Amino acid sequence: MLNSSVLVLNRGYFPVHVTNARRAFCLLYSGLARAINGQYETFDYPSWSALAVAAGDPAIGVVGRSVRIPRVVVLVAYDRVPRRNVRFSRRNIFVRDRNTCQYCGKPFPSSELNLDHVVPRSQGGKTNWENIVCSCIPCNKRKGGNRPEETGMRLVSAPRTPRWSPEFAFSLRTPIHREWVPFLNVVDFTYWNLELRE
């Protein structure tokens, strides 16, 4: 139980880290963090440890009683948000391209778009920010395995690495607990946020 995951928020309630319950209890006990319950109330260690543990709640045993494991803690004095590179993922490519086909310039729902290598992989094209764009299915079929200029097509805008700050990113092996959902923007997390590889 002491290795179970706990979401750590900064003082502005922005997710900054996932830690284990052991570290979360250390933060609580030392006064560096406060636990958050399902009603968004915050508790210091003495008040958290005094709460009753309901059947089924994850808890650890201490002398003479059990203490519920917090799923979310908020740091008392930490304001900063860790700086991260924008994850190269389907979701972020669609955000960068505004769900717009980069060949015909028309917006589409995500389900009607796919990702296209501007320089096809068969011609040495890389799978990276500068070579992947959103494309509607008709434009993708028209382009085929060619470069845009070979089929008389043009890009609406040159693909590049976005400069905006990414949302909180964490390992996909980390289980997402229901108590975390209000603090995360979780929509089809695995598919849209999985880092793409060569």
Which tens digits make up the pLDDT trace of 18-57?
889 899 999 999 999 999 998 889 999 999 988 887 777 7
- Give the pLDDT band of residue 86 (cuts 50, 70, 90): confident
More confident residue, 194 or 72: 72
- For 33-44, what is each residue's pLDDT tens digit? 999 998 889 999
- Give the pLDDT band of residue 79 (cuts 50, 70, 90): low
* Beta strands at 5-9 and 72-75: parallel, antiparallel or unpaired: parallel
Of 2-11, 65-74, 158-167, the poorest mean pLDDT is in: 158-167
* CA–CA gap between residue 41 and residue 102 (Å, rounded): 46
Nearest CA among 27, 13, 41 for reference residue 182: 13
Q: What is the mean pLDDT of the chain?
A: 83
Q: Where are the domains of the chain?
A: 5-82+171-188, 90-151
CATH of domain 90-151: 1.10.30.50
- Give the pLDDT band of residue 173 (cuts 50, 70, 90): very low
pLDDT value, residue 3 = 80
* Beta strands at 33-36 and 72-75: parallel, antiparallel or unpaired: antiparallel
What is the token pair recorded at 49? 């440890």
